[in-house]
C-alpha cells in the first residue's frame, strides 16, 4: 500500500513555509486572470481555427468551441475548488497526492511534464515561424540551416530563433514572479486589443451564405474539431500552478481560473463565427487563418497588426507554459520524487532559479533540434487526462477525512453532477484523438513508471519518514 500513501492537506500547506523552499506571495486576482488569458489565447486562436474548420467542422466550428469550452468550464470549477482549498504549487499533481496517493500523483506529474514540456517546445517553434515571417516582411531572411529543427533533407539543423525566445523568457522568469506577471499583463492587453480589432473590422465583411452548409462533415466532424481545438484552451490549468504565490488564494484563485476561461471562450466563439463568415471554410487550411481572412477582404494593414498580435500572443503562452513547468518540477522535487535541485529557491529572488534554467535547457533542446509537429496531440491527451483525474478528485475530497480542514474557499456547485460532467466531456474528447496518440501516451506513462520505481519511490519524503518512524519504533 506504500504506492498509495497520501499527504494530508495540512502537511501540504505546512511545507509551503519551509526554509529555503518558500515562494513569495505576489499575485492577485488580476494577475491570475492575465496569466490565464496569456496561456490560453495564442496558437489556438491564431493557427488551429483554420485547420479545424477546413478539415473537420466547417462553420460548425462554433459548436466545436462550445463543446470544448463546456468541458473546460466543468473542469475549471473543479480546479478552482482544489486551488482555493489546497493553495500549493503543483496543480493536479499536488491534488492527486492528497486524494489518491503517491503513485497516482506521480503519474499525473509525469503526465503534466509531457503537457507543459511539449506545449512549451511547440509554442516556441510556432513563435519562431511567425517571427521569421515578420522579418521576411522587412526583407530580412535568416539562413535556412538555423531556422528549423533538424531535417537534413530540407537543409535545416537547428531552430535558433526558437531557442533564443526560450532563453529570453527564462531570463525574465528568473527575475521573479511579479516582474513576469507585469510583463505578461502588458502583452495580454496588446493581444486582446488585436483580437478585438479583428472582430471590429471583420464583422462588416461577414457573408451569411458562407455558413452554408453549416455542418458539412456531420456531428462526428464537429466532435473531432472539438478535440482538435481543445489545444486552444490548454493553459488555464497553469494558473493553478501559481497557487502558492497568490495573496488570499481562497478568493483570488477561483476568480483567476474561471474569469480567464470565460473571457477566452467568448472570444473564441465570436472569432470562429466571423472567420467562417468572411472566408469559405474550404479555404481556411492555412497556418495563419486570422491574418489570411483579413488579406482575403483586402484589409492588409490590419492583417499586419494581427501578425504582430500573434507573436505577442504566442510569447505569453510560452511564458506561462514555462512557468507552469518550473512550478511542477518544484512541487515534485519538494516531495523527493525528483532531485532536490529542482526545489531549491533563491534567497534573493524567492524563485526556483536553478530549476528555471534547467527547464530552459531541456525545452531548448527539444524545440531547437526535434520536429514536434506529429506530437502536438500528445499535449491534448495529457491535459484531458489531468482534467479527468482532477474531476474525480473532487468526489474523493468531499468524502475524505481532510474535508474538515477545507471548509473555507470555493466549492464546486451541484456535486456530484458537475465533476461527473467534467469527466464525461473530457473522456469523450480524448476518445476522438487518434489511436497513435493513445499508444504514444501509453509509452510515455510506462517510462514514467520506470523512473518512479528506479528513483522516486526510494527518495520520496514519505518513504524517508516511514523508514525514520520504523527506526524510532
Region 296-315 average pLDDT? 81
Q: Which grid cell is 362?
A: 531541456
Q: What is the pLDDT of residues 106-144, one digit of tens each?
A: 999 998 888 888 888 878 877 887 788 778 767 788 887
Q: How far apart are CA 105 and CA 350, in angstroms?
A: 26
Distance CA 195, CA 54 (A): 21
What burial letters (b/e) apply to 264-298, b meaning 16+ CB within 10 Å? bbebbbbbbbbbbbbbbbeebebebbbbbbbbbbe
Hey, is 129 helix, strand or coil? Answer: helix
Residue 275: predicted pLDDT: 93
Q: What is the CATH number of the domain that holds 72?
A: 1.20.1740.10
Residue 189 lies in domain: 2-472
Q: Cell for 226?
A: 472539438
Task: Please name which of 127, 386, 406 lies closest in space to residue 253, comparing C-alpha atoms.
Answer: 406
* pLDDT score of 400 more than 60: yes
Question: How many domains would you assign to the chain?
Answer: 1
Mean pLDDT estimate for the chain: 83
Q: Would you give the end-to-end CA distance of the chain in angstroms?
A: 20
Distance CA(49)–CA(52), nearest Å, equals: 5
Tell me which of 385 and 471 has the higher pLDDT: 385
Rounded-to-integer distance, Cα 432 and Cα 231, Å: 13
For residues 127 and 135, what is the distance between their CA atoms, to the nearest angstrom? 12
For residue 106, give the nearest of 460, 463, 466, 379 by alpha carbon: 460
Taking alpha carbons only, the member of 268, 274, 276, 197 closest to residue 235 is 268
Q: What is the average pLDDT across 351-371?
A: 84
Rounded to a whole number of angstroms, the CA Rg of the chain reads 22
* Residue 154 pLDDT greater than 90, yes or no: no
Which cell goes with 393? Answer: 478528485
Q: What is the pTM of this model?
A: 0.81
Element (H, E) at 200: helix 177-202
Place of cell 531549491: 344
Asked if residues 297 and 202 have their Cβ atoms less than 8 Å apart, the reply is: yes
Amino acid at each position: 500500500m506504500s504506492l498509495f500513501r497520501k499527504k494530508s492537506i495540512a502537511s501540504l500547506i505546512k511545507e509551503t513555509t519551509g526554509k529555503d523552499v518558500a515562494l513569495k506571495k505576489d499575485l492577485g486576482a488580476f494577475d491570475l486572470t492575465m496569466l490565464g488569458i496569456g496561456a490560453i489565447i495564442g496558437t489556438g486562436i491564431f493557427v488551429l481555427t483554420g485547420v479545424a474548420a477546413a478539415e473537420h467542422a466547417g462553420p460548425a466550428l462554433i459548436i466545436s468551441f462550445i463543446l470544448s469550452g463546456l468541458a473546460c468550464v466543468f473542469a475549471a470549477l473543479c480546479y478552482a475548488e482544489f486551488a482555493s482549498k489546497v493553495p500549493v504549487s503543483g496543480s493536479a499533481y499536488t491534488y492527486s497526492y492528497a486524494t489518491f496517493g503517491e503513485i497516482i500523483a506521480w503519474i499525473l506529474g509525469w503526465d503534466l511534464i509531457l503537457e507543459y514540456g511539449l506545449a512549451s517546445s511547440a509554442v516556441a517553434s510556432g513563435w519562431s515561424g511567425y517571427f521569421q515571417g515578420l522579418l521576411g516582411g522587412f526583407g530580412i531572411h535568416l539562413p535556412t540551416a538555423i531556422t528549423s529543427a533538424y531535417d537534413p533533407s530540407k537543409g535545416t539543423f537547428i531552430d535558433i530563433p526558437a531557442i533564443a525566445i526560450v532563453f529570453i523568457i527564462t531570463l525574465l522568469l528568473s527575475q521573479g514572479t511579479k516582474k513576469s506577471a507585469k510583463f505578461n499583463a502588458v502583452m495580454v492587453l496588446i493581444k486582446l486589443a488585436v483580437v478585438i480589432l479583428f472582430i471590429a473590422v471583420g464583422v462588416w465583411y461577414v457573408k451569411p451564405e458562407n455558413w452554408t452548409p453549416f455542418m458539412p462533415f456531420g456531428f462526428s466532424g464537429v466532435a473531432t474539431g472539438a478535440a482538435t481545438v481543445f489545444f486552444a484552451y490548454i493553459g488555464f490549468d497553469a494558473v493553478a500552478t501559481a497557487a502558492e504565490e497568490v495573496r488570499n488564494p481562497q478568493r483570488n484563485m477561483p476568480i483567476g481560473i474561471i474569469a480567464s476561461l470565460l473571457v477566452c471562450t467568448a472570444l473564441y466563439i465570436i472569432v470562429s463565427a466571423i472567420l467562417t463568415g468572411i472566408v469559405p471554410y474550404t479555404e481556411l487550411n492555412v497556418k495563419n487563418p486570422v491574418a489570411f481572412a483579413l488579406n482575403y477582404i483586402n484589409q492588409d494593414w490590419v492583417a499586419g497588426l494581427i501578425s504582430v498580435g500573434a507573436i505577442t500572443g504566442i510569447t505569453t503562452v510560452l511564458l506561462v507554459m514555462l512557468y507552469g513547468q518550473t512550478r511542477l518540477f518544484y512541487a515534485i522535487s519538494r516531495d523527493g520524487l525528483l532531485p532536490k535541485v529542482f526545489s531549491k529557491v533563491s534567497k534573493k529572488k524567492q524563485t526556483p532559479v536553478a530549476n528555471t534554467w534547467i527547464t530552459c535547457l531541456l525545452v531548448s533542446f527539444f524545440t531547437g533540434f526535434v520536429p514536434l509537429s506529429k506530437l502536438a496531440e500528445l499535449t491534448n491527451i495529457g491535459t484531458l487526462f489531468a482534467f479527468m483525474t482532477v474531476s474525480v478528485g473532487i468526489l474523493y475530497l468531499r468524502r475524505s477525512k481532510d474535508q474538515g480542514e477545507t471548509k473555507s474557499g470555493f466549492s464546486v456547485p451541484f456535486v456530484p453532477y458537475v465533476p461527473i460532467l467534467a469527466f464525461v466531456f473530457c473522456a469523450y474528447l480524448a476518445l476522438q484523438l487518434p489511436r497513435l496518440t493513445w499508444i504514444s501516451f501509453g509509452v510515455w506513462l510506462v517510462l514514467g513508471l520506470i523512473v518512479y520505481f528506479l528513483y522516486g519511490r526510494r527518495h520520496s519524503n514519505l518513504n524517508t519518514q516511514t523508514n525514520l518512524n520504523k527506526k524510532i519504533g
